[in-house]
Amino acid sequence: MEIRQISWQETIDIRHRVLWPEKPPEFCKAEGDDEALHLGAYINKELVCVASLFFDGDVVRLRKFASLPAYQGQGVGSSVLNAAFKEMKARGVSVFWCDAREAAMGIYRKFGMKPSGERFYKGDIPYFKMSTNFADFP
């Protein structure tokens, strides 16, 4: 597996296929994509997982994190999060957070992230805000 920085345009196909297949592809572009850091995981030269990191000073928000269904549950997403954490640590990030789909909270818990606040919905999909303080990491 190779994880490398990619352009926001390269994220759109997987975002669309995994997160919002019922919406048009242009729905999958996020405000701030032009300034965000985008990571992609490749297996056999195929892009299989994407993650976008939006920086606001020393606070980073993960958005649009998605793995193709055939690669879910195989550690690909965890490898991308590991790469993201290394990058954030190098940049002196203090807080990392995301709006996590309730069904995907397990992967974030593995990285020490904790839910805060009440369940909320985007459309009919339940979410929790999850975060971690980088001071807790070696």
Instruction: Give the count of alpha carbons within 13 A of 29, CB side only.
Output: 11
pLDDT at 51 over 80: yes
> How many Cβ atoms from other residues are within 10 Å of residue 74's Cβ?
14
- pLDDT tens digit sequence for 77-113: 999 999 998 888 888 899 999 999 998 899 899 888 9
R_g (Cα) of the chain, nearest Å:
14
pTM of the entire predicted model: 0.90
Residue length of the chain: 138
**How far out from the chain centre does Cα 109 lie?**
14
Domains, the chain: 2-136 (3.40.630.30)
pLDDT, mean over the chain: 92
Which pLDDT belongs to residue 123?
85
Q: Determine contact, residues 85/49, Cβ cutoff 8 Å.
A: no
